[in-house]
Structure 1
C-alpha cells in the first residue's frame, strides 16, 4: 500500500497529463472527481486538487 501523499502526487500528474494530451477542454470538476475515485483520495486531498488547478497551491513534493 502506498502512502496517501504518493496517491495525491499521482493524481496531480494524471490530471496534468490528461489536460495536456487527452482532454484539454475537460472541466476541472470532472477530472478531479475521476482522479479522486481512481486514486482513492480523501476529501481534503480532493479539495487540494481543486486548489491546485486554480493555481492557489503548488504540486505536492515541490
Structure 2
C-alpha cells in the first residue's frame, strides 16, 4: 500500500536531494539540479519555483 506524503515533505526532500547532489558534483548547475529534483519528486512548476527560492536562500545562509 502506498503512503501518502504531505506536499511540504516532498519539497523538503527535493531540497535535501539538491544539496546532496551539489556536494557530490559542484559543477552541476542549479537548473539541472532543479530539473532532476522536479522529475524525481514529481513537483509542479510552482513547487520548483519555491524549491529554487529555498535553495538560493540556503546557499546564501551557507556563505554568511
Q: Same fold (TM over 0.5)?
A: yes
Q: Which TM class, normalised by the smaller chain length?
A: 0.7 to 0.9
Note the residue ranges of structure 2 that are not aligned, 5 or more in a row: 59-64
* Superposed structure 1 runs of 4+ greater than 2 Å apart: 52-56
Kindly tell me the number of residue pairs found equivalent between the two proteins. 55
Q: RMSD over aligned Cα, in angstroms? A: 1.5
SS in 2 for 1:55: helix
Structure with the greater alpha carbon radius of gyration: 2
Is residue 2:34 matched to residue 1:3?
A: no
SS in 1 for 2:26: coil
Bigger share in helix: 2
- Partners of 1:8 and 1:35 lie apart in 2 by 9
TM-score using structure 2 length = 0.76
Note the residue ranges of structure 1 that are not aligned, 5 or more in a row: 57-62
